[in-house]
Amino acid sequence: MTKITLSDGWFDAKGKMNDEEPATPREVQVLKEFLSGHITCSVAAKGLMTVSEDDKPLIDKLNRVAWLLMDTIIHYQTQQPLLIELLDAIHHLSDSELDFSTQQKERYPDWPKWKELGRFELLLDETLRSLLAYRYSPDDEDEDPHDSCRRWESINSFLAHRCIYNKGRDGCVFGIRLIASTLAQESWSNDGEGRVNSVVLDADIPAAAQWLLIAGDMIYSDLMMRPDPKLSGLYEARNIKLDKRQWDSWKASLHSVGQQHALHSKTKILAKQTLNKMENIEAKNAENDTGFADEGTRILQT
């Protein structure tokens, strides 16, 4: 895990307890201590889901925790794997660890479901839809246009990390569709003169790259059509082709990114890093295939 310096100012702003920042100082401090490595994941999960009403009533507890986690996920992209572990730890809290009093249980009869953090899942869907809609231009005219791209990249990074953590392919469908649409070179120009749409590509290439950098091994395995009827059915039902030509076309597109003078230098650098990652994945799989073949030959010879 990459070590970063957490901003005291950013976390302090989260604990203002107003309409914009509803989290309590205690909730914010628990999250910061966890990301700083001062407390364990299980301790952070219990601390974040505390039912103490010293700072604020419980009525908006789930909403403020969901917003605090979502904002942190978007702002601190390198900490996303830790935040995914924290979410999982919250899901696995026991009823006794939630520590609701008898009176609180009567006021909130659905309290056993609080650890499911359903509000976070709804917020994640809302955030994804909003960032998808405004990734090329900010929703707020006072917002930095580059921040829209950064947030779009960050949410895709989180989704890719969660796909790997959960070991599920359903989450990767969105990523593969984004990669395929972004790296289809025929869609790069829309002015009739062959000039690339830099606004679109500077937003979508870094986002698509996150999927290949983080979940590239899983995607490569799927595209190589490992024998799994259930897996093939999942992708075919969503009109996603599974073949090596798809992978090769993505590599060719990423190589072409470096030749597009209109694109931001960060986009070009990230495209190069992603291309290197893809080539490393191929080399690693080639070595594995050779190893299996050599082992098979040895067995046949004995």
Sequential pLDDT tens for the chain (302 residues): 444 578 889 998 988 888 788 899 999 999 999 999 999 999 999 999 999 998 888 999 999 999 999 999 999 999 999 999 999 999 999 999 999 999 999 999 999 999 999 999 999 999 999 999 999 887 666 567 688 999 999 999 999 999 999 887 667 888 988 999 999 887 786 555 567 889 999 999 999 999 999 999 988 987 775 546 666 566 666 666 667 888 999 999 999 998 898 999 999 999 999 999 999 999 998 887 654 444 444 444 44
How far apart are the C-alpha atoms of 199 and 206, rounded to whole Å?
Answer: 12
Spacing of C-alpha 257 from chain mean position:
23
Q: What is the pLDDT of residue 44?
A: 97
Phi and psi based region of residue 117 (left: phi greater than 0; alpha: psi -120 to 50; beta: remaining): left
CB within 8 A of 193, min separation 6: which ones?
none
Q: What is the pLDDT of residue 234?
A: 62
Query: What pTM, to 2 d.p., does this model score?
Result: 0.88
Q: What is the pLDDT of residue 292?
A: 42
Q: What is the pLDDT of residue 187?
A: 75
Helix axes 61-75, 118-133, angle to 10 degrees: 40
Q: What is the pLDDT of residue 298?
A: 47
Task: Identify residue 300 by its one-letter amino acid code.
Answer: L
CB within 8 A of 270, min separation 6: which ones?
205, 206, 209
Closest CA to 209 of 172, 178, 243: 178
Q: What is the pLDDT of residue 300?
A: 40
